[in-house]
């Protein structure tokens, strides 16, 4: 019997979440000053609390019913209305609801959340979908892949602030593209990409290639996005290293630096169309 991609990636995704959660907890616990700034708005513990809130919500989406459920149920309207461009507003709301910044308590809660996510998801179909931001729908394996990426990207933020190394494994970073980005596009991205700009008419097809992901093309057509198998002569061919692409998409590293260091390479029939594609298909900075 031929092993499917889901059968291959699901155990790897679960192992990556457990491993990355342990790494992140150790990094945060080692910070000499939990109030040290990480970004213009967040300290080490604000960043940790943000990741813990996401993990707690995901445990809730997977069926955990506890005292935190009411907080997420109370934010249902804002969650359903959230787009890529308004995620920061939702983050501020939830950080105001979950106010604990005690390092030991927050790290313990995060560790328990990840354990619960792994336990709750163990008996579930990784391709089953759950409701996500902006009325989108996300497969469970994509949910775990998103949390792995949150741990990796925010771990990169914390490590940079502390002057520590933070290696991002290629295969772990690839899960974000393979399972989350493609998964939410296939399952229905709802209002996530909505904005006030008129849709760009016409079609832009971008093929994504890496050593760690299945080649696939994302198509932007008259403002709508879908995925399909690659075809000869795509407008843009983007060859990438998963850690570099993720850090670029989340504005941690600039596009020019990413290109100059070989993190992404752009070719294809009409490569100049990539900026127009990324204006629509983008992630929170």
Mean residue pLDDT across the chain: 95
One fold for both 5-187 and 203-280? no
What would the CATH number be for the domain defined by 5-187? Answer: 1.20.120.450
For residue range 90-145, list pLDDT tens digits in order.
999 999 999 999 999 999 999 999 999 999 999 999 999 999 999 999 999 999 99
pLDDT at 6 (0 to 100) = 62
pLDDT at 5 (0 to 100) = 66
As a whole number, mean pLDDT of residues 269-274 equals: 98
Fold of 203-280: Nonspecific Lipid-transfer Protein; Chain A (3.30.1050)
* Residue 219: pLDDT over 90: yes
Three-state secondary structure readout of the chain = CCCCHHHHHHHHHHHHHHHHHHHHHHHHHCCCCCCCECCCCCEHHHHHHHHHHHHHHHHHHCCCCCCCHHHHHHCHHHHHHCCHHHHHHHHHHHHHHCCCCCHHHHHHHHHHHHHHHHHHHHCCCCCCEEECHHHCEEEHHHHHHHHHHHHHHHHHHHHHHHCCCCCCCHHHHHHHHHHHHHHHHHHCCCCCCCCCCCCCCCEEEEEEECCCCCCEEEEEECCEEEEECCCCCCCEEEEECHHHHHHHHCCCCCHHHHHHCCCEEEECCCHHHHHHHHHHCCCCC
As a whole number, mean pLDDT of residues 199-211 equals: 97
By percentage, how much of the chain surpasses pLDDT 90? 93
Could you state, in order of their start, the residue ranges of all structural domains in the chain?
A: 5-187, 203-280
* Residue 4: pLDDT over 60: no
What's the pLDDT band for 78 if we cut at 50, 70, 90?
very high
């Amino acid at each position: 019997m031929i092993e499917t991609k889901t059968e291959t990636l699901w155990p790897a995704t679960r192992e990556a979440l457990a491993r990355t959660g342990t790494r992140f907890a150790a990094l945060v616990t080692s910070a000499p000053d939990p109030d040290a700034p990480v970004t213009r708005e967040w300290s080490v513990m604000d960043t940790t609390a943000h990741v813990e809130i996401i993990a707690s919500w995901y445990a809730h989406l997977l069926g955990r019913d506890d005292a935190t459920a009411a907080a997420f149920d109370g934010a249902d309207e804002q969650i359903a209305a959230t787009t890529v461009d308004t995620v920061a507003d939702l983050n501020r709301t939830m950080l105001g609801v979950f106010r604990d910044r005690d390092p030991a308590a927050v790290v313990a809660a995060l560790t328990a959340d990840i354990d619960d996510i792994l336990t709750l998801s163990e008996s579930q179909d990784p391709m089953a979908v759950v409701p996500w931001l902006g009325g989108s729908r996300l497969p469970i394996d994509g949910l775990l892949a998103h949390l792995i990426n949150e741990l990796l990207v925010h771990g990169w933020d914390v490590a940079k602030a502390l002057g520590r190394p933070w290696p991002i494994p290629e295969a772990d970073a690839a899960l974000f593209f393979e399972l989350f980005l493609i998964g939410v596009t296939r399952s229905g991205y709802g209002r996530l990409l909505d904005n006030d700009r008129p849709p760009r008419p016409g079609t832009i097809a971008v093929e994504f290639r890496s050593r760690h992901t299945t080649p696939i093309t994302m198509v932007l057509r008259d403002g709508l996005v879908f995925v399909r198998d690659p075809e000869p002569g795509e407008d843009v061919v983007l060859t990438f290293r998963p850690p570099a692409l993720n850090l670029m998409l989340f504005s941690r590293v600039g596009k020019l630096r990413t290109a100059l260091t070989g993190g992404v390479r752009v070719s294809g029939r009409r490569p100049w169309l990539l900026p127009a594609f990324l204006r629509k298909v983008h992630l929170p900075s």
